[in-house]
Amino acid sequence: MTTEVDFYELLEVERTADEATLKSAYRKLAIRYHPDKNAGCKDHETKFKAINEAYDCLKDPQKRAAYDRFGHAAYTKGMGGAGGFHGGGQDFGGFSDIFESVFGEFMGGRGGQRQQRRGADLRYDMEIDLEDAFHGKQTEITIDVSAPCDGCDGSGATPGTQAKTCGQCNGHGKVRAQQGFFMVERTCPACHGQGEVIQDPCTRCRGDGRIDKTKTLSINVPPGVDDGTRIRLSGEGEAGQRGAPAGDLYIFLHVAKHALFEREGTTLHARAPISFTTAALGGEIEIPDPSGTRHTIRIAPGTQSGREVRQRGAGMPVLQGRGRGDLVVHIEVEMPSRLTARQRELLEEFRATETGEECPEATGFFAKLKQALG
């Protein structure tokens, strides 16, 4: 089982995005995550590489067409020694094979080979909360999917009988016809590319070799997954026709919004309002992470609103790696909206002792304002 993030989601664009939109999105993200701007941050370096890989695929019309049909299976193996393509259940020697599979039967084809109709890939959207993404999760899902017919073992023929070689294409699955100067090769209309014709079809599946079933699958969500992470279950998609390989099932994860935290990669951000006395005198506050562990955040005397306090190693786990990201606490100083008489009296006494040095920024601002007004 592998975890993969969709290229379109990586670039934060719709699947219908045109070339200009792709380029604009790529440039914006490349600037944000460039290693020169994020020295030493492994998360940003990994993200930068993933963004480049996604754009390298989607900017090429042929690669993009293959990716749209086969997903990551079309972009992970052996194209001229530099990437290439493979699909669960079927291997391709190079990009020309993918191109042929995507753009139809008029590109030369593989004459003499029957077409095996691999089952369709399926998509399942699963929502999890941040705690599940933090700890990981073992769960089960139930899907309706076509599976090999148990009445004929997926052959499509009545038990005890066999399919016959197609007389129109002689078992090749394709027929050729002359059109002007060109020889055009098409899928055989009699056997639909199978090369065989079932004369006595199975009564249960009516010769298709597949029936609809409800299937329960166990899903292992690893710690550290993020919104848009994709889990591939090889061979758990639609069954192939008449014994052909099954497709894959893709689980798309969606992490629900959290009441306390916002996530950026492995970094967690939390907003923490503190009293003005704590900001002035200093102190400590406690912030729990998604596991429930409490982290003590020290507030330095004179802390201003907007200050960020970083707690190393208190963020999200690294997906399929070691360690954790950071927790960044954004401090917001809250002014009291109601005061007792005694509190007001103490603050009046404090104001009477102010010299202007307590708040140098405010003193400097009003001095410049007075000068500007003459």
pLDDT digits (tens, 9 = 90+) for 103-127: 443 334 444 445 567 888 999 999 9
Q: Which stretch of 13-22, 131-140, 353-362 has the lowest confidence by average pLDDT?
A: 353-362
Shared domain for 319 and 371, answered yes or no, is no
The label of the residue with tokens 């689980």 reads 251
pLDDT (mean) for 241-252: 87
Least confident of 64-68, 166-170, 181-185, 212-216: 181-185
Higher-pLDDT residue of 132 and 108 is: 132
Q: Other CB atoms closer than 10 Å to residue 169's CB: what's the count?
A: 23
Same domain, 352 and 331: no
Q: For residue 311, what are the β-bridge partners? A: 327
Residue 3 lies in a domain: no
Q: Is the pLDDT of residue 271 over 50?
A: yes
Confidence grade of residue 223 (pLDDT, cut at 50, 70, 90): very high
The binding site for Zn(2+) consists of 149, 152, 166, 169, 188, 191, 202, 205
Residue 111, pLDDT score: 42
pLDDT at residue 334 is higher than 60: yes
Whether residue 220 is contained in a domain is answered as: no
Structural domain contains residue 165: no
Tell whether 75 is covered by a domain: no
* Banded pLDDT at 184 (limits 50, 70, 90): confident
How do 210-221 and 137-148 pair as beta strands?
antiparallel
- Domain hosting residue 368, numbered range: 348-374
Residue 143 pLDDT = 92
Whether 332 and 357 map to the same domain: the answer is no
pLDDT in tens, 42-96: 777 888 888 888 888 888 888 888 888 777 766 554 343 333 333 333 333 344 3
- 313 and 291, same domain (yes or no): yes
- Do 356 and 291 fall within a single domain? no
E runs forming strands in the chain: 2-5, 86-87, 90-91, 122-128, 137-148, 164-165, 174-179, 182-187, 196-197, 210-221, 229-233, 249-255, 261-264, 267-275, 283-288, 294-299, 308-311, 327-334
Q: Is residue 149 part of a domain?
A: no
**182 domain-assigned:** no
Q: Number of structural domains, the chain?
A: 2
Q: How far is CA 89 from the centre of its chain?
A: 22
Of residues 240 and 364, more confidence is placed in 240
Closest listed residue to residue 72, CA positions, set 98, 46, 93 = 98
Among the listed ranges 188-197, 333-342, 354-363, which one has the minimum average pLDDT value?
354-363
What is residue 80's predicted lDDT score, i.e. its pLDDT? 36
160 belongs to a structural domain: no
Cβ proximity of 239 and 334 under 8 Å: no
- Out of 12-16, 206-210, 278-282, the most confident range is 278-282
pLDDT given for residue 367 in this prediction: 78
Show binding-site residues: 149, 152, 166, 169, 188, 191, 202, 205
Is residue 52 assigned to a domain? no
CB 292 within 8 A of CB 194: no
Mean pLDDT of the region 153-159: 85
Sign of CA dihedral 361, 365, 366, 371: positive
Distance in angstroms (rounded) separating the CA atoms of residues 234 and 227: 21
The fraction of the chain above a pLDDT of 90, given in percent, is 37
Average pLDDT, the chain: 82
pLDDT at 191: 80
Task: pLDDT band for 349, please (50, 70, 90 cuts).
Answer: very high
- Same-domain pairing of 273 and 314: yes
Three-state SS for 139? strand
Do residue 364 and residue 331 come from a single domain?
Answer: no
Q: What is the mean pLDDT of residues 221-238?
A: 92
CATH number at residue 279: 2.60.260.20
Residue 166 to residue 52: CA distance in whole angstroms: 48
Q: Which residue has the higher pLDDT, 80 or 256?
A: 256
Q: How far apart are CA 93 and CA 77, in angstroms?
A: 9
Q: What is the pLDDT of residue 180?
A: 65
CA gap 159, 202 in Å, rounded = 7
Are 271 and 314 part of one and the same domain? yes
Range with the lowest mean pLDDT among 6-20, 288-302, 337-351? 6-20
